[in-house]
Structure 1
Amino acid sequence: MPQLFHRSTNTLARLSIVLGILLAGGLLWLLLQANRTPFVTQAFMARQQPVQFSHKHHVGDDGIDCRYCHTTVENTASAGMPATKTCMNCHSQLFANSPYLEIVRESWRSGQPIKWTKVHDLPDFAYFNHSIHVNKGVGCSTCHGRVDLMPSMWNVASLQMEWCLACHRNPEQFIRPKNKITEMEWPPVEPSPAEFPNGWNQAVDGPKLVKEYKLQPTDVLTSCSTCHR
């Protein structure tokens, strides 16, 4: 039987297989990269809220401590959203007639809570407890960024597992003194000599705090069951 195809078609067949594998690998790589983009993670995308609340004004300008509004952050898994009463503690006197705060006043009159839009929304299969983090020296700005510079709130991180593991594998790089957890600017540019006679060196002081605060060993912090229960 005469040969139907030229010998070169064997080479073309092999090349097509190689190209197919490369194409499939390239598409997989593109999908993995796309999964890390802000379009998917929603990072750096400001959320629309029912009230024009500015962390920059309240935290940055007025110096209000995070725990004044997020009252349960040290004791429970959730940081908690402020009750309308917390807002009215100030705004029954300040900007009491501002049209921007009518939703707050209506919530106060009706007893219906304000429906805030969640910004840091973890998937249901991930367990996160605020209290254990802040009580072990993980500061607010470590995860939430410089909220004192945010007119509107947004994520500064992907909230993906690789981001969490970066800290769980090396907590000494992120930990700080417990009395500094709500400070936005960390490490301090000019450490107080009274508080830090030798200054602050994360590479030196971080491991000391890990030991002092009795953090779990890395194999426990990176165990699947720690975050997926």
Structure 2
Amino acid sequence: MAQIFGPKANGITQIVLATAAVLAAVAVILLVVLPRSSWATLVGRAPQQPVPFSHQHHVAGLGLDCRYCHTGVEKSAFAGLPPTETCMTCHSQIWTDAELLAPIRDSFTDRQPVAWQRVNNLPDYVFFNHAIHVNNGVGCMSCHGRIDQMPLTARGAPLTMQWCLDCHRDPGPNLRPPEAITLMDWQPDTDRRELAEYLLDAYDIPHADRLTDCYVCHR
């Protein structure tokens, strides 16, 4: 009786199965792991800017409050970027001839905004209101990370749908009292869960379970 499979069939089968396993693993990495990696989310990456602005120097070193430059954080859907006039409030007096700040001086002279590159940018189909979060106890650090430790501004959080939903499902632990919103090194001086319950009530967020409804972020 003739054999259907030759003597090399077992070896070929093993190679095929091993290749299939490797391809399956690669597919899992591409479909599951890669989209959540910092390579895809850009967490920790600082885009090249026309001026290497250092939050570490201005926030931690000089003690500037976030709201001095980002004036829209409490009243607008967008935090906003400071106009060149804000930069020149100080730099018309200090570092006036620094080559590093030439784009700032040119912007002020030409009355053209500096072409800053966005660090955090949500898709157009996502509705996000900056003021709603800030006025309801979400601190700057929760989304932007320790901006006071960044010589160059990098993305501090993945800003993926899953990341947002994790907070919306249980916002309490991420809430702060109003006076701590912009503080980078703030830590609660009481039990975190008790404080969360208190702040949920203080900010009038009684239906936190509704924060995961589709219309909240997609309108």
**TM norm structure 2:** 0.88
% of aligned pairs identical? 43
1:30 aligns with 2:20: no
The match for 2:198 is 208
Q: What's the CA shift for 1:219?
A: 3.0
Give the unaligned 5+ runs of structure 1: 7-14, 189-198
Change (3 A) 1:20 1:119: same
Deviation at 1:27, TM superposition (A): 3.8
- Give a deviation string over 1:200-224, Cα, whole Å, max 9, x none: 2211111110111112523321111
**Which residue does 1:195 correspond to in 2?**
none
Q: 1:82 to 1:204 in 2, by over 3 A?
A: same
**Match of residue 160 from structure 1:** 160
Q: How big is each residue's C-alpha offset from its partner over 1:86-107, in whole Å with a ceiling of 9 and x where there is no partner?
A: 0011111011111111111110
Distance between the aligned counterparts of 1:57 and 1:132, measured in 2? 28
Question: Which whole-Å deviations, capped at 9, do the CAs of 1:35-80 have from their partners, x for residues lacking one?
Answer: 1112111111111110121000000000000000000111111000
Q: Secondary structure in 2 aligned to 1:93?
A: coil
Q: Using the alignment, how far apart are the partners of 2:47 and 2:70 within structure 1?
A: 18
| Distance apart, 1:157 and its partner CA | 1.6
How far apart are 1:5 and its partner, in Å? 3.3
Moved over 4 A (4+): 15-25
Aligned alpha-carbon RMSD (Å): 2.6
* Cα 1:103–1:16 shift into 2, 3 Å: closer
Please identify, of 128-137 and 199-208, the stretch whose mean Cα deviation from structure 2 is larger: 199-208
Cα distance in structure 2, aligned partners of 1:223 and 1:23? 39
TM-score by length of 1: 0.85
Once structures 1 and 2 are overlaid, which stretch shifts more, 27-36 or 127-136?
Answer: 27-36
**How far apart are residue 18 of structure 1 and its match?**
8.8
Among 199, 216, 219, the residue aligned to 1:226: 216
Counting only pairs closer than 5 Å after superposition, residues 151-190 of structure 1 correspond to structure 2 as 151-187=151-187
Q: 2:108 — aligned with what?
A: 108
1:24 deviation in Å? 6.5
Q: Distance in 2 between matches of 1:56 and 1:178?
A: 23
Aligned length: 218
User: Hey, what's the Cα distance between the residues in 2 that align with 1:106 and 1:136?
Assistant: 39
d(CA) in 2 for partners of 1:45 and 1:97? 29
Distance in 1, Cα, partners of 2:51 & 2:15 = 58
Unaligned runs of 5+ in 2: 6-13
Distance in 2 (CA, whole Å) between partners of 1:143 and 1:185 is 14
Residue of structure 1 equivalent to 2:10: none
- State the shift of 1:161 in Å: 1.0
